[in-house]
A and B are shown apart, each in its own frame.
Chain A
């Protein structure tokens, strides 16, 4: 009961901050644009042409739409969701608020877990709305019910959860929303993409084995949203997934970040 109260308070806070309303508004616009697009004559003509060229043609067109959708969702998550959830912990830690929360019979571990699960659940539901709607529209229109596209909801949620665990840790230590946003954006937009293409982009220029070791170490330790995004794409397009290692190491990173957050929160005086 207490845990659920905390979980729903995270939902309520997100809605009150209106950023998620922005997410829903944009998601709705995207869904409507999709609905409009697949009904305009030129696209209808393209579908007809693909149908004429056989079932494979329709599949390719649907998958093309889905890949575009995943890229849009990925950007939406980063811009809207990260900004929104970055303030959850710093606002919870504000003087007068944290005192009251900690005076209640609820453990500090539960508070952190509720904040984490609340945020993750929120993103999951938002993605269900956006991707689920687009999937339904595409499937009804094309008659091609492509379920791997639906699974991308889980993969995108996982990508978010891994970074969100880090946002929680940064928020607890720094009590700063801005710093949480900067670090998560820096990681997702700069560090992870560079590490993802480290062999082509860095190792071809730097042959020093010590530098290569450090870069490989960072790659293995840090979360890998770019890799997870690639795995998601492969699953949608039907290409083989070479390794699930990035998923496991990202999960380990998430667990480590959460554990350190809980340990720090338990020891801290407010």
Chain B
């Protein structure tokens, strides 16, 4: 079942107030997000990612196209009861304490006081903010605000969670904890829509991604499908003599990483086997041969550079 469906979604902005000049933030964008998946939206700055999230949440109005969430047109705002949102650079009223922030936004999501109190305690514990709950948030660090923001976004037990740069300002341990929380939410059947600049992170947790550039969808699919295998083979061997290493370097154009490790780039299986024969003839023991995969980051950079 699709949780989000858009068809030919477009958004135009005026470049300046009262100006007729338009900027196309989204151009006929069509995509679907399935229930229970973690979906990542990628793109360079100004690609239209945040605009897309804002349209999906009714914060910004679309210029044209169709948007359905939970199979309903978004003009019917009731879907927001089943969604959670953590905006990029969110700003909570700084005169509130952490607990009061959750109380306020929980009630705005339609929760009753008893549920808000119960869930606040549960989620403050989950994001490791329990001991700071009575402290005014103006004293919080960026990482603490981000953790509180995450708790806020899942407080109303939403089926669909929009996260815009959720690990921004969070240290590596905190990032790992947030990833674990997101994976647990996925296990509970929640759908997560993630916008992050940390592509290594997206690669680790997303099932599918869509890449946006200048408001247009340039690629989408499962992470393992779009990070294709490269032609680079990494060899791990016994110690290689200097004479053999020199031959590898000059005749086979291998990249030597050490006396027992080198990389070899080829698109031909025959050449690969010839190299293996050469190593065996020179009494080199092969411990492993690994065909390297392109990282999401490499693929993303190559794709965007070719587009621009």
Contact = CB atoms under 8 A, between A and B. Distances in A.
Interface of A: 1-2, 5-6, 9, 12-13, 16, 94-107, 267, 269-270
Interface in B99-135: 104-105, 107-110, 112
A267 B61 contact: yes
A105 B90 contact: no
Nearest to B77: A105
B90 A99 contact: yes
Given A1-B110, A9-B104, A270-B60, A100 B85 contact: yes
Contact of B95 (A13, A94, A97): A13
B104 A96 contact: no
Interface of B: 13, 54, 57-61, 77-78, 80-81, 83, 85, 87-93, 95-96, 104-105, 107-110, 112, 152, 162
B93 A97 contact: yes
Nearest to A94: B91
Interface of B is mostly: loop
A168 to B, nearest CB: 18
Contacts of B96: 12
A104 B105 contact: yes
A5 B113 CA distance: 11
Contact of A105 (B60, B78, B89, B152): B78
Contacts of B81: 105
Contact of B110 (A2, A103, A269): A2
A233 B107 CA distance: 43
B157 to A, nearest CB: 14
Contact of A107 (B13, B54, B77, B109): B77
A9 B93 CA distance: 10
A94 B90 CA distance: 10
A5 B108 contact: yes
Given A2-B107, A103-B83, A16 B93 contact: yes
B108 A13 contact: no
A145 B181 CA distance: 65
Nearest to A9: B104
Contacts of B83: 103
Contacts of B95: 12-13, 16
